[in-house]
Amino acid sequence: MLNLPSLDLEDIEEDITEEELKATIFSMPAEKAPGPDGFIGAFYKAAWEIIKEDLLKAVISFFNRNTLQLRDLNSTFICLLPKKDDANGAEHYRPISLIHSLSKIISKLLANRLAPELPELVSPNQSAFIRKRAIHDNFLYVQNMVKFLHKSKKQSLFFKVDIAKAFDTVCWPYLLEVMRYFGFGTQSLNWISNLLATSTSQILLNGVPGPSIAHVRGLRQGDPLLPMLFILAMEPFHRIVKAAESASLLSPIGGRFDRFRCSLYADDVALFMKPEPNDLLALLQLLSFFAQASGLHTNVSKTEIYPISWKDEGKPWTGMPVPCDETDRRLFQAATSITLGNGEKTSIWHDNWLQKCCPKDIAPSCFRLAKRKQRKVQVELVGNKWLASFRQFSTVKEIHELVHLGSLLQDVNLSAIPDDISWKWNEVGIYTSKSAYLFQFEGSFASINFSSIWKAPAEPKTSVQILCEESRGDSRASDIVDCHNTITFQVQISTEISGLISRCEYGSVCKTVACAKGGMREGDPHAGEGVIGVKVRHCSRRTSVTSTADCAESPRSVRIHIPLLLKWIEI
């Protein structure tokens, strides 16, 4: 029924030779973490000439089914690696098996014999742990299938199915039966059965091994053979999906990518389905049937569904994940306003609907105590259900906030019209990318074209460059010395200009040019004035200045409005 391929796998059962054992030893990683015996690959490589005969006898003894002492040589230390920083539960740790070196060598021998046969046993829909197949294969299959369905406008559902505790829950009788259908002989099945049945584990806590645990199911992560056995255990699922489609239990997807409607990578399954009730029910039954047979159950919490080719042209994003974080949501709230209607779409806590504010900002303590933070206004206000959603109040501040919030909600009247949301940054209240782009520069200065400074036929070009940089927000004074002039720039407020620069030749030129560029006459009372500006202190080449007092002998100061200054640097 499943049409599993059956091959002649007699090569796997051939006698072990010294050359094959040596090739296996020297292909193992040298520094990989040791198991209970403490030996690593580097030891076997360095001591090969000394231990090769004894090691070959031990391996041959296993292949001759002498497994009386195998349990002592097939033990494992389980090291728990935290999946996240604040790991506080068993599910937050990843178990890594540190396997006894002899059983690892035997598994590596069998894995090397099985690896050349896997491309013939496993369909192209699987690419994990198979030579000459890349992880990118599955990704490209799925990507091309999605593109095809979008382009052909065929409504479909894309399932990302995750198998819960996949390696730890494989049923051994199921695995051996599947391998028998694939063509494994009795002897090779006995070898694998002995490796599985005699395996034990001890959990390391603070470096101390715990009591020995005998295995009755599952495959050890870290064993070189067992990942290959896992993909053999997953192969029937792909065949079950094909058989269900042939029996008309599942609707065909269509197109040249139809054979890749089910793509598998280890315990991750990508599946394409028609959005039909009968198809979904059939899929649930298939997953349940496969779980009962193999022990591999679906992890519902990590399984995701994405619709493809959504027909509602007004909502092309539906079904796709929204790439927004909390900062994006706050920016969106600040740029929009909500007119309350029937309250069906407005969040009672998170939207700006109550006097143009979020209730969670009006009463933060109440928001913290609320149990139902995602409810809509319509649901919570009818019958004052929002009052029943709080945990126990314990402070006077919380009670005051509750009373204040209740007084505001008393004045709210729901209507029959839908809620309305409007964009604040244009007149029509509809979002445009142009208005959002311009809003980013609200209150900022136009960028300065510094290249125009160095084209100007003026002497203090370096000083002007720094002047422009200082004018963008740094209010600290800086002294600049060049071969001709000493100029100090400082952002400050000033209203008296003319009298300060009337006796400074350089300052007068600056003011005259600035006024001319700014479209003002030199006698204009507002020429050079502004809220934010730059004070320029200039000394002639023949004058030495040490004082900043405003007198005839002191250095002259010129107050230049920044827009005029930007005009001036273009000369």
Q: Measured in whole angstroms, how far is the alpha carbon of residue 208 from the centre of its chain?
A: 36
pLDDT of residue 320: 56
| Better-predicted residue by pLDDT, 53 or 84 | 53
Lowest mean pLDDT among 378-392, 445-459, 514-528: 514-528
Q: Residue 447: pLDDT above 50?
A: yes
| Better-predicted residue by pLDDT, 342 or 451 | 342
Q: Residue 497: pLDDT above 60?
A: no
Q: Residue 297: pLDDT above 60?
A: yes
Q: Residue 500: pLDDT above 70?
A: no
DSSP string, 218-241: ---TT-SSHHHHHHHHHHHHHHHH
Q: What is the mean pLDDT of the chain?
A: 78
Strand (E) positions, 257-319? 262-265, 268-273, 304-308
pLDDT of residue 477: 35
Question: Cα separation of 452 and 456, whole Å?
Answer: 6
State whether the Cα torsion 289-291-294-300 is positive or negative: positive
Q: Residue 413: pLDDT above 50?
A: yes
Question: Cα separation of 386 and 409, whole Å?
Answer: 10
pLDDT of residue 45: 94
pLDDT of residue 552: 37
Amino acid found at 342: N
Secondary structure class of 445 (helix, strand, coil): coil
Q: Residue 346: pLDDT above 60?
A: yes
pLDDT of residue 386: 87
Q: For residue 266, is it left (φ>0), alpha (ψ between -120 and 50) or beta?
A: left
Give the residue from 154, 142, 152, 41 showing the smallest Cα distance to 99: 41
CA angle 30, 191, 45 (to 5 degrees): 20
**Residue 458's pLDDT band (cuts 50, 70, 90):** low
Domain boundaries defined on the chain: 10-301, 328-437, 451-542+554-568
pLDDT of residue 260: 77
Give the residue from 273, 303, 257 showing the smallest Cα distance to 124: 257
pLDDT tens, residue by residue, 254-275 = 766 677 788 888 888 999 998 8
Average pLDDT over residues 196-207: 90
Counting beta carbons within 10 angstroms of the beta carbon of residue 51, is it exposed (0 to 12), middle (13 to 18) or buried (19 or more)?
Answer: middle
**Residue 530's pLDDT band (cuts 50, 70, 90):** very low
Contact 540, 507 (CB under 8 A): no
Helices of type H across 115-249? 118-121, 135-152, 172-182, 186-197, 226-246
pLDDT of residue 521: 46
Q: Residue 145: pLDDT above 60?
A: yes
Lowest mean pLDDT among 102-111, 113-122, 253-262, 289-298: 253-262
Instruction: Tell me the sheet residues that pair with 561.
Output: 533
Percent of residues in the chain assigned helix, strand, coil, to nearest 5 = 40, 15, 40
Q: Residue 480: pLDDT above 70?
A: no
pLDDT of residue 315: 59
Q: To 10 degrees, the CA torsion angle through 253, 257, 258, 262? A: -100
Helices of type H across 377-504? 377-381, 396-410, 433-439, 451-455, 461-470, 498-501
pLDDT of residue 555: 34
Q: Residue 8: pLDDT above 70?
A: yes
Neighbouring CB atoms inside 10 A of 412's CB total 13
Neighbouring CB atoms inside 10 A of 163's CB total 27
Q: Residue 249: pLDDT above 70?
A: yes
pLDDT of residue 321: 57
